[in-house]
């Protein structure tokens, strides 16, 4: 009987071992399958879905805004061309509205394929997303009533309004002696400023020049702060296939003069004489 039980135990152990081995092989097989799916062509997935999801602003004219039941602006104009060249139809783009502070997280969470929400390339952001080649140049500026604030020193002890997560927020958060009032949305930011809640408002100078054209009682007293930066599309980190496609697309569009076309179609009438296409469009 002892021998019998021993055989049973050995047989049982063998079955357990085989089961563990089989489970392990199945787990490995499933893991390899999942990994293969992850490595599947990003571009093919976009083509199979029949659309590309691009994150843009809905309240930042003239770069990205929602009006008359459609998205408009410089970034939107370029995004539609991306869709046309990738999917054969400019309408095959799904615009996803994003806030400035949520642009990187939208990519990380796979809510969008590309961010084109006037995204300034910075060292901090490069730790979170992969930037493509730039298509636009930008600097920070400060607008005030009648352009009364003309230097950074004049901001000491004053209240400055900024958008959360923007380069203006990042820049002035490192400064001392300035009271920052932060808002999530561009609409809130400019409304608060017009309501007198701040002495000045800091934002991309190009946007400020467009805004003061419609609000002549304000002027861009500080036209440039810090280094000149660039605006570029961004993708989720590691998404090399889509990144390479965008880089090639930007090279092609620059060679065709497309970005000047986009400027004339969306920005040309929005700026005063202070801004010219060469000041906005980035060229290699």
Residues 93-115 have pLDDT tens digits of 999 999 999 999 999 999 999 99
User: What is the gyration radius of the CA atoms in the chain, in angstroms?
Assistant: 26
Structural contact between residues 129 and 107, judged by C-beta atoms closer than 8 angstroms: yes
Determine the pLDDT at residue 214.
93
> Is residue 80 predicted with pLDDT exceeding 90?
yes
Number of H helices, E strands in the chain: 11, 13
> Is residue 37 predicted with pLDDT exceeding 80?
no
Q: Which of 100, 36, 108, 37 is nearest to 231 (CA)?
A: 100
- Helix axis angle, 74-87 to 258-266, nearest 10°: 140
> Is residue 62 predicted with pLDDT exceeding 70?
yes
Q: Dihedral angle at the C-alpha atoms of 12, 14, 20, 21, nearest 10 degrees?
A: -160
- Helix axis angle, 240-255 to 258-266, nearest 10°: 80
Determine the pLDDT at residue 221.
97
What is the pLDDT of the chain when averaged over all its residues?
88
> CA-to-CA distance for 149 and 158, rounded, in angstroms?
10
> Is residue 30 predicted with pLDDT exceeding 70?
no
> Is residue 9 predicted with pLDDT exceeding 50?
no
> Residue 187: beta bridge partners?
none
Determine the pLDDT at residue 40.
59
> CA-to-CA distance for 222 and 159, rounded, in angstroms?
15
> CA-to-CA distance for 241 and 245, rounded, in angstroms?
6
> CA-to-CA distance for 214 and 272, rounded, in angstroms?
10
Beta-carbon-side half-sphere exposure of residue 37 (alpha carbons within 13 Å): 6
> CA-to-CA distance for 228 and 140, rounded, in angstroms?
8
> CA-to-CA distance for 128 and 8, rounded, in angstroms?
57
- Tell me the average pLDDT across 109-133: 96
> Residue 123: beta bridge partners?
none
pTM of the shown model: 0.82
- Tell me the average pLDDT across 193-200: 98
Q: Which residues contact 272 (CB under 8 A, 6 or more apart)?
A: 209, 212, 213
């Amino acid at each position: 009987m002892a021998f019998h039980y021993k055989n049973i135990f050995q047989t049982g152990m063998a079955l357990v071992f085989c089961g563990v081995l089989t489970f392990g092989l199945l787990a490995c097989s499933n893991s390899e399958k999942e990994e293969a799916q992850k490595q599947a062509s990003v571009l093919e997935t976009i083509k199979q879905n029949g659309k590309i999801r691009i994150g843009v602003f809905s309240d930042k004219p003239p770069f990205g805004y929602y009006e008359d039941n459609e998205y408009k602006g410089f970034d939107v104009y370029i995004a539609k061309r991306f869709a046309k060249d990738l999917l054969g139809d400019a309408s095959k783009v799904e615009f996803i509205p994003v806030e400035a502070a949520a642009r990187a997280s939208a990519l990380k969470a796979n809510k969008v394929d590309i961010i084109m929400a006037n995204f300034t390339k910075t060292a901090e952001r490069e730790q979170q997303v992969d930037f493509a080649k730039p298509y636009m140049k930008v600097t920070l500026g400060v607008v005030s009533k009648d352009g009364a604030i003309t230097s950074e020193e004049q901001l000491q002890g004053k209240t400055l309004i900024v958008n959360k997560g923007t380069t203006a927020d990042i820049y002035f958060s490192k400064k001392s002696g300035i009271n920052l009032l932060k808002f999530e949305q561009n609409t809130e930011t400019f409304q608060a400023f017009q309501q007198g809640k701040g002495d000045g408002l800091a934002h991309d100078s190009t946007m400020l020049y467009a805004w003061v054209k419609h609000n002549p009682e304000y002027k861009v007293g500080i036209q440039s702060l810090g280094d000149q930066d660039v605006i570029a599309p961004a993708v989720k980190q590691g998404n090399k296939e889509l990144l390479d496609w965008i880089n090639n697309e930007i090279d092609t569009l620059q060679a065709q003069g497309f970005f000047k076309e986009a400027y004339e179609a969306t920005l040309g009438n929005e700026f005063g004489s202070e801004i010219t296409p060469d000041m906005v469009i980035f060229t290699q």
